[in-house]
Amino acid sequence: MAELDFERARFNMVEQQIRPWEVLDQRVLDLLFRVRREEYVPEPYRALAFADMEIPLGHGEKMLQPKLEARMLQELGLKDPDQILEVGTGSGYMTALLASLGGHVYSVEIIAEFSVSAAARLKAHNVGNVTLEIGDAARGWDKHAPYDAIVLTGSVPVLPEAFQMSLKLGGRLIAVVGEPPVMEARLITCVSTGAYNSIDLFETCIAPLKNAVQPERFVF
C-alpha cells in the first residue's frame, strides 16, 4: 500500500469508525494521526491496519479494534505525569498511545515473544517512557503501584479487586468485564481511600486475558 493510501485509510478510520464511536477528544484524534498504527501491525496484515477488525498477532491473540483502543484512551483521560499500567502489551501500539499521553507506562505481557517485538517497535519510534515486563498480570500487578491509570487489553470474566486497590486517589481503571457473547467496558475511579465509582460504558466482546480469574461455578 502506498504512503498516500495509508494516509487516506487512516483518515477514513478516524472519520468512519472512531468518531461515530463518540471519540471526540481532539488529543486522542490527533494522536491517531501521529502514532502510525500500520507500523505496529504484523507485516502480513499491514494493509488491514485501519480495518474495523481484530488483527491476529499469533499465539491465538489479536489486536483490539481501532475504535475500542481510541475509546478506552479517551475514557482514561490521561495527563502528562500519569503513571500507567497496561496489562497485555500485544503489538505495542496501545503502549505507544498511552506513552504519548501519560508520564510513564509499565506494560506487562505474558508472551515473551510479543514483549521482545514490541520493545523493538517502540525503540524504533523513540518511545522511551515505557517499562516492558514479562509476566502474568491477569490477577493484578502491584510492582509499581499505585497507578494513575490501568488498562486491561483483554477481558476478564470477573475483575480482581487487586486492580482497583492499585489505583491512586483519582486513579482510573478500564477493563472489559464479563463472558461471551456480552461483556461491559467498565470504568472504575478511586474516589477516596477504599471507595470506588464504577460506570459501565458500552457493551462489547473481546478475547480474555490468559489465566484470568474465573467465576465460581455452582455445582448441583
In 3D space, the residue among 177, 203, 209 whose CA is nearest the CA of residue 68 turns out to be 203
Residue 216 lies in a domain: no
Domain with 105, as residue range(s), is 3-204
Residue 152 lies in a domain: yes
User: What's residue 216's pLDDT?
Assistant: 83
User: What's residue 209's pLDDT?
Assistant: 96
User: What's residue 2's pLDDT?
Assistant: 76
Could you give the 3-state DSSP secondary structure of residue 103? Answer: coil
User: What's residue 121's pLDDT?
Assistant: 98
User: What's residue 211's pLDDT?
Assistant: 95
Q: What is the pLDDT of residues 113-129, one digit of tens each?
A: 999 999 999 999 999 99
CA–CA separation, 204 and 22 (whole Å) = 15
**The domain that contains 194 carries what CATH number?**
3.40.50.150
CA–CA separation, 220 and 218 (whole Å) = 6
Residue 160 lies in a domain: yes
How much is the CA Rg of the chain, to the nearest whole Å?
Answer: 17
Residue 209 lies in a domain: no
Residue 136 lies in a domain: yes
Ranges of residues in the chain with a pLDDT under 70 are 219-220
CA–CA separation, 128 and 122 (whole Å) = 8
Residue 212 lies in a domain: no
Residue 215 lies in a domain: no
Domain count, the chain: 1
